[in-house]
Structure 1
Amino acid sequence: MSDPRAARSREAILGAARELLFRHGSGAVTHQRVAEHAGVGRATVYRHWPRADQLLLDAMTGSDMPFFKDPAPPVRDWLTRELRILADDLAQPPVVAVSLTLMHDAHWDEGVARQRDASLGTVAERLGAAFALAYETGEILSELAGYDAVALLTGPIFYRAALQGGGVPDGFIARLVDGLPWASRDAERR
């Protein structure tokens, strides 16, 4: 039987870690700062998470992914806005650092790999639903599989923001979106 006090302290710790992560970046997620923020002893944080990197990972992966929710027509405009939000989020050094750390750790840690795969699955499902909607409404000529859409659209943004270390201009996002088989663009060519 699990101890309700332990469950409450664990949730308080995760909440504090998430808040510190989003406000101050991954460097702020230390046992000491999380304990102070959660109102628990540092030993309690260590008991639940002996390693700070695991606490950071759990704080990141336990929160709901904010990207690509609730697609709405016109999907092209919605998609452009969502990609802008993603690019802006990846422009923050702590977000890039944590994302790269997770990608690296997924190669060595099966648990991290499962969490990565779950996150990718969520994005693929959401983008797949968006393109199904666009196809149903005649906005796009063919459906895109979710994982293909993730690779085609988010891959270049991640490369530009994380690996090149630069911002992602609106024109870059527009070129990505324009590269899809939109019905209106095809009709304009005729």
Structure 2
Amino acid sequence: MADSTDPRITRSREAILSAARELLREDGPAAVTHQNVAKRAGVGRATVYRHWPQPRLLLDDTMAGVRMPFFRDPVPPVRPWLARQMRTLADELALPEVQAVTAALFHGAPDEPDAIARREQLIATISGQLGTALDSATRTGELQASADLLDTPAIIIGPLVFRSMFERRPVTDAMIDHLLNAIGTWTTPGSSPPADQADVGRGRDGGGA
């Protein structure tokens, strides 16, 4: 059996994955087949099968080579950080290779264990990072949420995917601002609350009769 550290094997795998990512970017996940990849990489189909016995394994490794933003490492104040993260995500979703990976996540059969695991991992990662950031904003008084925070990924990420991948139109900064406002009321940490909330704190009558 060939040593997996053999540089020839490493070069072969890299050439195959490079070809697979080109096909994913150009024609979507359905194009990432052993036959198509072997032809694009200039290797025998048996070589591709030797590295990836099943098509789903080949597609998984092909997708793993494309970076996806996951709202990592939130920093205060949360709103400008979140706006930057949404801007990055929107810009990434405009890239063919990222669109291809996103389509591949949709492409998996609803009852396929690996497809389910990939989607659940993505959902858990995004929801966890957003939850951490928004909990922090709520604790510091930066955010007074008007929506259930569990719905936040659908509220602020779903529209970005729809606009970028379905409508094929650019996501504007104004759209990002609108989506953030849909979560709730934002204030600068340490500043006074909005006037109506300040009135509530004073009983709306300034404490008088």
Question: How far apart are residue 145 of structure 1 and its match?
Answer: 6.4
Aligned length: 186
Kept in 2: contact 1:57–1:102 (CA 8 A): no
Matched, 1:89 2:92: yes
Give the alignment of 1:113-124 within 5 angstroms: 113-124=116-127
Kept in 2: contact 1:87–1:168 (CA 8 A): yes
When Rg is computed on C-alpha atoms for both structures, the one with the higher figure is: 2
Matched, 1:25 2:31: no
Question: How far apart are residue 118 of structure 1 and its match?
Answer: 0.7
Greater share of helix residues, 1 or 2? 1
Question: How far apart are residue 120 of structure 1 and its match?
Answer: 1.0
- Stretch deviating more after TM superposition (81-90 or 95-104): 95-104
Q: Which residue of 1 aligns with 2:193?
A: 187
Q: Secondary structure at the match of 1:168?
A: coil
Q: Can you list the C-alpha shifts for 1:104-162, whole angstroms capped at 9, x where unaligned?
A: 31425221111111111111111011111112222112497664221111011111111
Q: Which residue of 1 aligns with 2:79?
A: 76
Change (3 A) 1:44 1:17: same
1:165 to 160, 168, 180: 168
Kindly, what percent of the aligned residue pairs are identical? 34
Q: Secondary structure at the match of 1:187?
A: coil
Question: How far apart are residue 16 of structure 1 and its match?
Answer: 6.4
Q: Secondary structure at the match of 1:165?
A: coil
Give the alignment of 1:1-190 within 5 angstroms: 5=4, 9=9, 13=13, 17=17, 21=21, 25=25, 27=27, 31-32=37-38, 43-50=46-53, 54-61=57-64, 65-142=68-145, 147-184=150-187, 187-190=193-196
Q: Secondary structure at the match of 1:179?
A: helix
Q: Distance in 1 between matches of 2:58 and 2:133?
A: 33
Kept in 2: contact 1:35–1:42 (CA 8 A): no
Question: Structure 1 counterpart of 2:13, which letter?
Answer: I
Question: Structure 2 counterpart of 1:31, which letter?
Answer: V
Kept in 1: contact 2:143–2:184 (CA 8 A): yes
Question: Structure 2 counterpart of 1:118, which letter?
Answer: Q
Question: Structure 2 counterpart of 1:93, which letter?
Answer: P
